[in-house]
Structure formats: structure tokens, C-alpha cells
Amino acid sequence: MKFAMAHGFGHCRAAFVNHPDTMPRINRRRFLAGSAAASTLVAAPAVVRAQGFADVDIAIVGGGAAGIAAARRVVSAKRRCVIVEATSRIGGRCVTDNATFGVPFDRGAHWLHLPDSNPLAQLASTTGLDLYDAPRGLKLRVPPRAARDIELEDYFTALVRANRAIVEAGRAKGDLAAAAALPADLGDWRPTIEFSIGPYSTGKDLAQVSATDMSRAVERGRDAFCREGFGALLVKLAAGLPLRLGTAVDEIDWDNGVVVATSKGRFRARAAIVTASTGALAAGKLNFKPALPKRQMDAIAALSLGSYDHIALDIKGNPFGLDRDDLVIEKSTGPRTAALLANIGGTSLCTVDVAGSFGRDLARQGDAAMTAFARDWLKTMFGNDTGASIGKMAVTRWNDEPYVLGAFSAAAPSGADARRVLMEPLRERVWFAGEAVHPSLWGTVGGAWESGNRAAEAALKKIGALKEQPDDKPARGRRRR
């Protein structure tokens, strides 16, 4: 998840950094989500595949980050589990495609936040894959030229004021839309601020996002990339886990124990962890018997997925003179805008990212409309025709992925407490997990991982595999963060 190109809701403390090139930078924090599955992706890991379904201690629905984390925890406790995944691949919304461009292309999540504390960063060292620091800045253009220092200062001042206003509104009584909290005097920077804090950060326009939910997000001041791809990292971490690919879960009967009905058979479990996206749950891709209580259904509806897609281009010869992993935005005049991530991993691969209602509408028009927009936008941004430099192109369309139906969650106004509702188990038998079920790291792979691990711990305790620990009493005088 991203916020105001600083990727920490309401915590913009970045300093300006002058660079010898023609495009100054501002510090930022960044999450990238969204995009549809490639036809040829990183190969699935070696997995334990049962010929038929056997009863297990814990059934795990979904093979994304949350499902992998949950399964690893259950296996470490020496209990039986199985990940049931509807698609033909592992990783969920974190997918690396090596075939389309001949280099790693993360069709979904790409940014690994807070590597000093992110459990995925710690585990990466055991896989042999290479993590490296993401650049700590972005570049701003006032098309067709680079922004001047005074323009950077104006943008950054407006950004800080907007962030602060949203956080203050989010902490006040009521849970209004983030758009209503913006200062009225942002002037001609308003469209850029709205894109930065809204679609680019949450996948939604600010009028559709809860200010309270945004104010609770953890500040993300440092990021890293996986040279081989974020999806490749998840594939490594899933190696050896009991997994059934290409197997859709049709129904979970949690009335008397847990019975899981799939497209390839039924089995029993003592508990279940459901990591399906809120988009898939809202669309009824998974049935529950008895039906989910209204409290949970309302929470799922409040945490609908935004829209975020990549338009990937192989741009030879670096015609824009950008550095490796440069992030570039424009001073926009309306919602028809995007962000450029250039020379990914030192290659010629670049992505033009579109999001929010504009991105959703563009994706509905199809691949040709998306690639045409990217070409025109780059020409406007840099003032020259790069058509001859652009080779292969590809797009992602996560809104059309049948078992995802969007990018990542952002709470609707008045829906900030929905995440806590989804953290509540159903009769101590069914737990939800995923990026939408984390109160402060929502929209991130790290948040999904922590959520899956938390759900597994709770389920293991309930079935007696772990000892119940009494809640720690708060120490006197302990300060709240």
C-alpha cells in the first residue's frame, strides 16, 4: 500500500534530495498491488500432493501469502493441514512472470515494506534470493519538463498538509470520507494530491475511503525489492507444503465441526482458515453453511477491493534518462493520470500504473485502450515520441481475475472497524486471514503474512496444539504509540 508517494498514512516526514539529473526527488514509501495472472509464471514449488482428500486438523482456503504463512505455522506445530487453491499457481496476488519479457515481472505486489521488521524479508535470506533496497525518492514532472525545486516544495508542502488533515480527521469522532478531510486551499496541486493519496495508495478515489482506516496504517519509511521477483519469493516459501492446486472450495459447513466441499471432493477439518479476497467473498465464490452472519457480511462489503493495474512496456535504450527503479509522477490536471516505475531491477522493463475509478474504467475498455493510454501519457510526460523505443507490451487486469476481483482492500467511510470484525472467529472454528484482515498493514503482503500466522496460532490453540497464554496486563505508565 502507498500513501501520498510516502506510503505511510499521515506520516510524511521525507526530506528533499537533490540529484544531478534533471528530475528532483522526494522521499516516499510504496506498495504495489494489483494485476492479472500471466499465462506463464514462476513454476509452482515442489509440494506434497495427496491422491485423495484426507481429514486434517486445519484446512486453509487460498494459496496466497496468508495461506502460505498459516500452513508453515501449522506444519511447524506438527499438525496436519492442506492448502486448497482454486487456481493453477501459488502466490495469490503476488505473482512473478518470467516469460513475457524474459526478466522478472511482478504482475501483482512488487514492493516489500519495512524490511528491517517484515517477516518475509527475514525469511528471504533462507531462500537464496536477493533483496536490495528500493530508491528512497521519486521524481516529479510538470509535463513535458521536470519539476523545478520551488514546484517540488509546493507539492511537498501540500502533501504534508493533506496527510495531516486526513490523520486528524481519522482520529476525530465519526468516520468520514478522506476526500472530505482535504484542505480546501490545495489549489492546482489538488488533482496530484488526490491521485497520490487515493488511487495510487489505496486503489480507490478518496471519496470512497475511510479517513479513520487511513490514519491507522503503519508508516512505511523503507522498502526493498526482490531481484528475482516477489512472487518468486512466495513460491520458495511455499516449497514442501501440502497443497492442492486447481481445486476450488465450493462450501464450508461450519455448523458441526468443519466440512470442506471442493470441486474434487470433501474432507473434514477441526478448523479452517479462509484467506480468500474480500472481492471473492462478496461475489459468493465461496458458500458458507450456515450463511455468514450479517456482521461479517457487512464487514466484507465495507472492505471492498480497489482497482490497480500495470501496463508493462519494454523500453529500450533508456530514452527518458532515468535511473534503475525510478518512480515518476506528474503534476496532473485531473484523474486521468498514472505513475511510472522505470528500469525495473536495472532492466528495460517499465510499468505505467493506473488505479482508482479511472484505472477501473480504462481496464474495462480492454488491452488496446490501456496500451494506447500508456503511449500517449509517456509522450505527454516527456515531450517526445518514444514509440520506436517501445518493444513488447503487456497489461494486467486484476478486476477480471475470477478468484480475486480487484487489487487490495480499502475501508469505505464508516467502515474502519470492519477489519477487526473479520478478525473474530466463527464459533472458534473458522478464521479469516489476508491483507484485509490486518488493522494497520492492510493492503500489503507483509500484512497478509502476519494475518495468516495470527490465524494459525489462534486455530492451533483452539484445537489444543498450543498452550493458551493469558493476556498480558498492560504495564502501568506504558505509553501508547
**Tens-place pLDDT, residues 360-390:** 999 999 999 999 999 999 999 998 777 778 9
Model confidence over 409-421: pLDDT tens digits?
A: 999 999 999 999 9
Report whether pLDDT(477) > 80: no
Model confidence over 22-68: pLDDT tens digits?
A: 444 444 333 333 333 333 344 444 333 344 678 999 999 999 999 99
Model confidence over 242-290: pLDDT tens digits?
A: 999 999 999 999 998 999 999 999 999 999 999 999 999 999 999 999 9
Strands (E), 283-395: 287-289, 308-315, 326-330, 339-342, 349-355, 390-395
Region 318-331 average pLDDT: 96
Which CATH superfamily, name and number, covers 56-97+228-304+405-462? Answer: FAD/NAD(P)-binding domain (3.50.50.60)
Sorted by where each begins, the domain ranges of the chain are 16-30+137-221+306-400, 56-97+228-304+405-462
Q: Which of 184, 71, 180, 56 is nearest to 433 (CA)?
A: 71
Q: What does the radius of gyration of the chain's CA atoms come to, in whole angstroms?
A: 22
Q: What percent of the chain has pLDDT over 70?
A: 86
Length of the chain in terms of residues written: 481
**Angle between helical axes of 65-76 and 445-462 (0-180°, round to 10):** 40
Q: What is the mean pLDDT of the chain?
A: 88
CA contacts within 13 A on the Cβ side of 334:
3
Model confidence over 446-459: pLDDT tens digits?
A: 999 999 999 999 99
308 beta partners: 355
Give the position of cell 482456503: 61
Model confidence over 163-217: pLDDT tens digits?
A: 999 999 999 878 999 999 999 999 999 999 999 999 999 999 999 999 999 999 9
Per-residue pLDDT at 282: 97
Report whether pLDDT(150) > 60: yes
Region 425-443 average pLDDT: 97
Region 455-466 average pLDDT: 96
CATH code assigned to 16-30+137-221+306-400:
3.90.660.10
Exposed, middle or buried, 354 (CB in 10 Å: 0-12/13-18/19+)?
A: buried
pLDDT band at 469 (very low <50, low <70, confident <90, very high): low
Region 392-405 average pLDDT: 97
Per-residue pLDDT at 52: 64
Q: How far is the C-alpha of 185 from the C-alpha of 234, rounded, in Å? A: 44
